[in-house]
Amino acid sequence: RLTLDFYKDTCPQFSQIIRDTVTAKQISSPTTGPATLRLFLHDCLLPNGCDASILLSSTRLGPPAERDADINLSLPGDAFDLVVRAKTALELACPNTVSCADILSVATRDLLTMLGGPYYPVFLGRRDGRSSLASAVPRYLPTPSMPIPEILRLFTQRGFSVEEFVALSGAHTVGFSHCSQFISNVSSSSSYNPRFAQGLLKACADYHNNPTLSVFNDVMTPNKFDNVYFQNLPKGLGVLKSDHALYSDPVTRPFVQSFATDQDAFFRVFATAMQKLSLLGVQTGRKGEIRRRCDQIN
Protein backbone atom coordinates (compact mmCIF):
# COMPACT_ATOMS: atom_id res chain seq x y z
CA ARG A 1 0.00 0.00 0.00
CA LEU A 2 3.04 2.25 -0.20
CA THR A 3 3.23 4.43 -3.31
CA LEU A 4 5.98 6.27 -5.14
CA ASP A 5 4.12 9.61 -5.18
CA PHE A 6 2.69 9.52 -1.66
CA TYR A 7 3.56 13.18 -0.92
CA LYS A 8 2.69 14.54 -4.39
CA ASP A 9 -0.19 16.66 -3.11
CA THR A 10 0.59 17.01 0.60
CA CYS A 11 4.29 17.87 0.31
CA PRO A 12 5.45 18.41 -3.27
CA GLN A 13 8.86 19.68 -2.06
CA PHE A 14 9.51 16.40 -0.20
CA SER A 15 12.17 14.93 -2.51
CA GLN A 16 13.94 18.23 -3.11
CA ILE A 17 14.16 19.10 0.58
CA ILE A 18 15.68 15.75 1.43
CA ARG A 19 18.09 15.92 -1.47
CA ASP A 20 19.26 19.42 -0.48
CA THR A 21 19.69 18.41 3.16
CA VAL A 22 21.57 15.24 2.25
CA THR A 23 23.88 17.05 -0.17
CA ALA A 24 24.82 19.77 2.30
CA LYS A 25 25.38 17.33 5.15
CA GLN A 26 27.38 14.79 3.13
CA ILE A 27 29.68 17.50 1.77
CA SER A 28 30.39 18.93 5.23
CA SER A 29 30.60 15.50 6.95
CA PRO A 30 31.53 12.71 4.52
CA THR A 31 31.05 10.05 7.19
CA THR A 32 27.31 10.70 7.02
CA GLY A 33 26.69 8.37 4.06
CA PRO A 34 28.06 5.15 5.56
CA ALA A 35 26.69 6.11 8.98
CA THR A 36 23.17 6.49 7.62
CA LEU A 37 23.33 3.25 5.64
CA ARG A 38 24.14 1.36 8.83
CA LEU A 39 21.51 3.26 10.83
CA PHE A 40 18.91 2.30 8.23
CA LEU A 41 19.91 -1.39 8.40
CA HIS A 42 19.62 -1.30 12.18
CA ASP A 43 16.16 0.26 11.95
CA CYS A 44 14.74 -2.08 9.32
CA LEU A 45 16.12 -5.47 10.35
CA LEU A 46 14.24 -5.56 13.64
CA PRO A 47 10.70 -7.01 13.65
CA ASN A 48 9.15 -3.53 13.84
CA GLY A 49 10.79 -2.86 10.47
CA CYS A 50 11.51 0.53 8.89
CA ASP A 51 9.57 2.60 11.43
CA ALA A 52 12.31 4.94 12.69
CA SER A 53 12.26 3.14 16.06
CA ILE A 54 16.07 3.44 16.02
CA LEU A 55 15.74 7.25 16.25
CA LEU A 56 13.76 7.30 19.49
CA SER A 57 15.62 8.44 22.59
CA SER A 58 15.24 6.54 25.82
CA THR A 59 12.81 8.15 28.22
CA ARG A 60 13.61 8.74 31.87
CA LEU A 61 10.97 6.36 33.13
CA GLY A 62 10.74 3.67 30.48
CA PRO A 63 13.20 0.89 29.59
CA PRO A 64 16.18 1.82 27.32
CA ALA A 65 15.39 2.37 23.62
CA GLU A 66 17.01 0.55 20.69
CA ARG A 67 19.59 3.24 20.09
CA ASP A 68 21.01 2.61 23.57
CA ALA A 69 21.60 -1.09 22.91
CA ASP A 70 25.35 -1.84 22.97
CA ILE A 71 25.61 -2.56 19.25
CA ASN A 72 23.97 0.77 18.40
CA LEU A 73 26.17 2.96 20.60
CA SER A 74 28.71 3.18 17.76
CA LEU A 75 26.13 4.55 15.31
CA PRO A 76 27.57 7.96 14.42
CA GLY A 77 25.73 11.08 15.47
CA ASP A 78 25.96 12.46 11.95
CA ALA A 79 23.31 10.02 10.76
CA PHE A 80 20.84 11.06 13.48
CA ASP A 81 21.66 14.70 12.86
CA LEU A 82 20.91 14.33 9.17
CA VAL A 83 17.38 13.10 9.85
CA VAL A 84 16.78 15.88 12.38
CA ARG A 85 17.83 18.48 9.82
CA ALA A 86 15.61 17.06 7.09
CA LYS A 87 12.70 16.76 9.53
CA THR A 88 13.10 20.38 10.64
CA ALA A 89 13.05 21.61 7.05
CA LEU A 90 10.07 19.41 6.18
CA GLU A 91 8.05 20.49 9.22
CA LEU A 92 8.44 24.09 8.07
CA ALA A 93 7.32 23.28 4.52
CA CYS A 94 4.61 20.70 5.30
CA PRO A 95 3.82 20.37 9.02
CA ASN A 96 2.72 17.00 10.45
CA THR A 97 2.93 15.28 7.08
CA VAL A 98 6.17 13.39 6.49
CA SER A 99 7.19 10.42 8.62
CA CYS A 100 10.69 10.05 10.03
CA ALA A 101 10.72 6.53 8.56
CA ASP A 102 10.19 7.88 5.03
CA ILE A 103 12.86 10.53 5.58
CA LEU A 104 15.40 7.92 6.65
CA SER A 105 14.52 5.64 3.72
CA VAL A 106 14.90 8.34 1.07
CA ALA A 107 17.96 9.95 2.69
CA THR A 108 19.70 6.56 2.69
CA ARG A 109 18.98 6.07 -1.03
CA ASP A 110 20.12 9.60 -1.90
CA LEU A 111 23.36 9.17 0.07
CA LEU A 112 24.02 5.85 -1.61
CA THR A 113 23.85 7.47 -5.03
CA MET A 114 26.10 10.32 -3.85
CA LEU A 115 28.72 7.73 -2.86
CA GLY A 116 28.53 6.21 -6.35
CA GLY A 117 26.09 3.40 -5.61
CA PRO A 118 22.98 2.33 -7.52
CA TYR A 119 19.64 4.18 -7.59
CA TYR A 120 16.33 2.53 -6.73
CA PRO A 121 12.85 4.00 -6.32
CA VAL A 122 11.74 4.30 -2.69
CA PHE A 123 8.08 3.55 -1.99
CA LEU A 124 6.50 5.98 0.50
CA GLY A 125 3.82 6.17 3.14
CA ARG A 126 5.58 4.56 6.10
CA ARG A 127 4.25 5.50 9.53
CA ASP A 128 6.51 5.96 12.53
CA GLY A 129 6.55 3.34 15.27
CA ARG A 130 5.69 4.08 18.87
CA SER A 131 7.93 1.58 20.60
CA SER A 132 11.64 0.90 20.76
CA LEU A 133 13.28 -1.57 23.12
CA ALA A 134 17.02 -2.07 23.54
CA SER A 135 16.41 -5.55 24.91
CA ALA A 136 15.02 -6.74 21.54
CA VAL A 137 18.05 -5.65 19.53
CA PRO A 138 20.71 -8.36 20.07
CA ARG A 139 18.55 -11.12 18.62
CA TYR A 140 18.17 -9.48 15.23
CA LEU A 141 21.42 -7.75 14.32
CA PRO A 142 24.56 -9.51 13.09
CA THR A 143 27.87 -9.23 14.92
CA PRO A 144 31.32 -9.95 13.44
CA SER A 145 31.86 -13.01 15.63
CA MET A 146 28.62 -14.77 14.62
CA PRO A 147 29.17 -17.75 12.29
CA ILE A 148 27.95 -17.13 8.73
CA PRO A 149 25.06 -19.63 8.95
CA GLU A 150 23.72 -17.72 11.92
CA ILE A 151 24.13 -14.32 10.23
CA LEU A 152 22.56 -15.74 7.10
CA ARG A 153 19.55 -16.90 9.10
CA LEU A 154 18.91 -13.34 10.33
CA PHE A 155 18.58 -12.26 6.70
CA THR A 156 16.78 -15.28 5.21
CA GLN A 157 14.15 -15.14 7.94
CA ARG A 158 13.45 -11.60 6.70
CA GLY A 159 13.00 -12.85 3.13
CA PHE A 160 16.42 -12.26 1.60
CA SER A 161 18.18 -14.78 -0.65
CA VAL A 162 21.81 -15.75 -0.03
CA GLU A 163 22.78 -13.66 -3.03
CA GLU A 164 20.92 -10.63 -1.66
CA PHE A 165 22.57 -11.09 1.73
CA VAL A 166 26.04 -11.13 0.16
CA ALA A 167 25.19 -8.07 -1.93
CA LEU A 168 23.98 -6.18 1.17
CA SER A 169 27.21 -7.07 2.95
CA GLY A 170 28.93 -5.21 0.13
CA ALA A 171 27.88 -2.04 2.00
CA HIS A 172 31.22 -2.51 3.75
CA THR A 173 32.74 -1.00 0.60
CA VAL A 174 32.38 2.30 2.51
CA GLY A 175 32.70 3.43 6.11
CA PHE A 176 34.69 2.50 9.20
CA SER A 177 35.07 -0.16 11.86
CA HIS A 178 36.35 0.54 15.33
CA CYS A 179 39.43 -1.42 16.41
CA SER A 180 37.50 -3.22 19.16
CA GLN A 181 35.32 -4.84 16.47
CA PHE A 182 38.14 -6.80 14.81
CA ILE A 183 41.49 -6.50 16.58
CA SER A 184 41.41 -9.80 18.49
CA ASN A 185 40.72 -11.59 15.23
CA VAL A 186 43.73 -10.06 13.48
CA SER A 187 46.19 -11.85 15.77
CA SER A 188 44.30 -15.12 15.96
CA SER A 189 43.34 -15.65 12.32
CA SER A 190 45.58 -16.56 9.40
CA SER A 191 43.13 -15.28 6.81
CA TYR A 192 44.50 -11.70 6.83
CA ASN A 193 47.10 -10.62 4.33
CA PRO A 194 50.24 -10.39 6.56
CA ARG A 195 51.17 -6.83 5.60
CA PHE A 196 47.57 -5.72 6.00
CA ALA A 197 47.46 -7.38 9.43
CA GLN A 198 50.60 -5.45 10.44
CA GLY A 199 48.94 -2.25 9.29
CA LEU A 200 45.79 -2.96 11.30
CA LEU A 201 47.77 -3.77 14.45
CA LYS A 202 49.75 -0.58 14.05
CA ALA A 203 46.67 1.57 13.43
CA CYS A 204 45.04 0.06 16.53
CA ALA A 205 48.11 -0.02 18.79
CA ASP A 206 46.64 2.55 21.16
CA TYR A 207 43.00 1.52 21.03
CA HIS A 208 42.79 0.67 24.75
CA ASN A 209 43.54 4.31 25.53
CA ASN A 210 41.68 5.61 22.51
CA PRO A 211 38.52 3.61 21.82
CA THR A 212 37.59 5.91 18.92
CA LEU A 213 40.42 4.51 16.76
CA SER A 214 38.98 2.99 13.62
CA VAL A 215 39.98 1.90 10.13
CA PHE A 216 38.32 1.94 6.71
CA ASN A 217 36.19 -1.11 5.90
CA ASP A 218 37.52 -1.03 2.32
CA VAL A 219 41.21 -0.17 2.43
CA MET A 220 41.38 0.42 -1.35
CA THR A 221 38.44 2.73 -2.13
CA PRO A 222 37.07 3.66 1.32
CA ASN A 223 34.79 6.48 0.22
CA LYS A 224 33.46 5.06 -3.01
CA PHE A 225 30.54 2.69 -3.28
CA ASP A 226 31.90 0.06 -5.70
CA ASN A 227 32.62 -3.67 -5.82
CA VAL A 228 36.22 -3.38 -4.56
CA TYR A 229 35.18 -4.74 -1.15
CA PHE A 230 34.52 -8.09 -2.85
CA GLN A 231 37.88 -7.96 -4.66
CA ASN A 232 39.57 -7.39 -1.30
CA LEU A 233 38.17 -10.48 0.41
CA PRO A 234 40.09 -13.19 -1.54
CA LYS A 235 43.27 -11.16 -0.96
CA GLY A 236 42.85 -11.23 2.81
CA LEU A 237 42.04 -7.51 2.92
CA GLY A 238 38.76 -7.81 4.81
CA VAL A 239 38.58 -6.07 8.19
CA LEU A 240 35.93 -7.88 10.23
CA LYS A 241 35.90 -11.59 11.01
CA SER A 242 32.54 -11.78 9.22
CA ASP A 243 34.06 -10.17 6.10
CA HIS A 244 36.64 -12.96 5.94
CA ALA A 245 33.99 -15.58 6.63
CA LEU A 246 31.93 -14.41 3.66
CA TYR A 247 34.75 -15.65 1.43
CA SER A 248 35.70 -18.78 3.37
CA ASP A 249 32.13 -20.07 3.67
CA PRO A 250 31.29 -22.21 0.59
CA VAL A 251 27.66 -21.03 0.58
CA THR A 252 28.49 -17.33 0.22
CA ARG A 253 31.84 -17.52 -1.62
CA PRO A 254 30.40 -17.94 -5.17
CA PHE A 255 28.53 -14.65 -4.82
CA VAL A 256 31.62 -12.87 -3.50
CA GLN A 257 33.47 -14.12 -6.57
CA SER A 258 30.82 -13.07 -9.07
CA PHE A 259 30.34 -9.60 -7.50
CA ALA A 260 34.14 -9.14 -7.47
CA THR A 261 34.22 -9.44 -11.26
CA ASP A 262 30.84 -7.92 -12.12
CA GLN A 263 29.99 -4.58 -10.52
CA ASP A 264 26.76 -4.30 -12.54
CA ALA A 265 25.50 -7.55 -11.06
CA PHE A 266 26.43 -6.32 -7.56
CA PHE A 267 24.61 -3.02 -8.11
CA ARG A 268 21.53 -4.76 -9.54
CA VAL A 269 21.18 -7.17 -6.63
CA PHE A 270 22.11 -4.53 -4.05
CA ALA A 271 19.43 -2.15 -5.36
CA THR A 272 16.76 -4.88 -5.27
CA ALA A 273 17.80 -5.91 -1.77
CA MET A 274 17.83 -2.33 -0.46
CA GLN A 275 14.36 -1.75 -1.82
CA LYS A 276 13.26 -4.95 -0.10
CA LEU A 277 14.95 -3.84 3.13
CA SER A 278 13.11 -0.52 2.93
CA LEU A 279 9.75 -2.33 2.89
CA LEU A 280 10.29 -4.64 5.86
CA GLY A 281 7.52 -4.50 8.44
CA VAL A 282 6.22 -1.11 7.34
CA GLN A 283 3.08 0.27 8.94
CA THR A 284 0.69 2.32 6.83
CA GLY A 285 -2.74 3.94 6.96
CA ARG A 286 -3.88 4.62 10.50
CA LYS A 287 -1.24 2.47 12.21
CA GLY A 288 1.65 4.22 13.92
CA GLU A 289 1.91 8.00 13.66
CA ILE A 290 3.65 10.91 11.97
CA ARG A 291 6.11 11.88 14.66
CA ARG A 292 6.53 15.59 15.27
CA ARG A 293 10.10 15.05 16.47
CA CYS A 294 12.04 12.06 15.23
CA ASP A 295 13.55 11.33 18.65
CA GLN A 296 10.31 11.05 20.61
CA ILE A 297 6.80 9.70 20.16
CA ASN A 298 3.99 12.25 20.01
Among 52, 54, 124, 151, binds ligand HEM (CB under 6 A): 151
Identify whether the C-beta of residue 280 lies closer than 8 Å to the C-beta of residue 86.
no
Taking the complex as a whole, the smallest distance from the CB of residue 128 to ligand HEM amounts, in Å, to 21
CA distance 92 to 62: 30
Is the torsion defined by CA of 137, 138, 139, 142 positive or negative?
positive
35 binds, among ligand HEM, Ca ion, none (CB under 5 to 8 A by kind): ligand HEM
In the bound state with ligand HEM, the residue whose beta carbon lies nearer, of 76 and 288, is 76
Quote the longest CA-to-CA distance of the chain: 58
97 is in an annotated binding site: no
Active-site residue flag, 42? yes
Instruction: State yes or no: residue 178 binds ligand HEM (CB under 6 A).
Output: yes
In the bound state with Ca ion, the residue whose beta carbon lies nearer, of 93 and 293, is 293
Q: How many residues bind ligand HEM (CB under 6 A)?
A: 25
Which one-letter DSSP state was computed for residue 56? P
Strands 214-216 and 176-178 turn out to be: antiparallel
Among 103, 228, 260, 271, binds Ca ion (CB under 5 A): 228
Among the residue ranges 33-41, 127-135, 203-211, 288-296, the one whose residues contact ligand HEM (CB under 6 A): 33-41
DSSP code per residue over 144-208: TTS-HHHHHHHHHTTT--HHHHHHHHGGGGSSEEEGGGTHHHHHH-S-S-HHHHHHHHHHTTTTT
Taking the complex as a whole, the smallest distance from the CB of residue 92 to Ca ion amounts, in Å, to 26
Residues that are catalytic: 42
- Binding-site positions for Ca(2+) read 43, 49, 51, 53, 66, 173, 218, 221, 226
